[in-house]
Amino acid sequence: MMKTGLVALGAASLLLTACTPPVPSAVAAVNDKVYTVTPNAMKVKAGMVTGEVTEMKVTERVEAGTGRITAPAKLTGKLSLKNTSADQTMRMVSAKIRYIDMQGKPIVMEDNRTAPTVEVAAQTYSKVDRLDPGQESIHTVDADFPVAALKAKNLKEVRLDLSFIPSQFKEETLSFSVSIGGQ
């Protein structure tokens, strides 16, 4: 009887141990490390387009305590493009970002990172990729940022290579003379 009681007690303790949820391990906090971009807003005109970048900042995610980078640096902000032409429309094709070092040379992205771009061309029919004279469009900048550019006094400028197709813009009026029921 005692042997049966010990076996039952052993089985009960085994069941309780198996059903007990594991103690959660401590998860290190992950913080955003923000690098300021100076100036954080800028307006530039080139040909028939005016571009303004605002709210620029570089952010990387870092594990507290260890300093391990959990998400590489990204440049974020808003890009506003305006067609300043009086008689040409612009069909947006692409926008590429290049980071230029103090010697005027492009800073190369690391092997596992993508070349930074900004989506300006329409990917769907609901999004317009054309800017008529005087029209403006706003785009989100969320681009990979090279580690080498984070080093002090290594980044000289950020360039936006904008590709678009200009075409003549004209408005014409067609008038049709009509009468109703022989009047």
Could you write out the three-class secondary structure of the chain?
Answer: CHHHHHHHHHHHHHHHHHHCCCCCCCCCCEEEEEEECCCCCEEEEECCEEEEEEEEEEEEEEECCCCCEEEEEEEEEEEEEEECCCCEEEEEEEEEEEEEECCCCECCCCCCCCCCEECCCCCCCCCCCEECCCCEEEEEEEEECCHHHHCCCCEEEEEEEEEEEEEECCCCCCCCCCCCCCC
Contact of 53 with 74, CB cutoff 8 Å: no
Please indicate, yes or no, whether the overall pTM of this predicted structure exceeds 0.95: no
What confidence category does residue 13 fall into, taking pLDDT thresholds of 50, 70 and 90?
Answer: low
Lowest mean pLDDT of 18-32, 36-50, 122-136, 159-173, name the range: 18-32
Segment of 34-38, 113-117, 166-170 carrying the highest mean pLDDT? 34-38
Ordered by where they begin, the domains of the chain are 27-168 (2.60.40)
What mean pLDDT comes out for the span 46-60? 92
More confident residue, 123 or 72: 72
Give pLDDT tens digits for 87-142. 999 988 888 999 999 999 999 888 888 888 888 775 555 456 789 999 998 889 99
Q: What percent of the chain has pLDDT over 70?
A: 79
CB atoms within 10 A of CB 100: 15
Q: What integer is the mean pLDDT of 55-69?
A: 91
Instruction: Examine the pLDDT at 11 and tell me if it is beyond 60.
Output: no
* pLDDT value at 172 more than 90: no
Asked if the model's pLDDT at residue 18 lies above 70, the reply is no
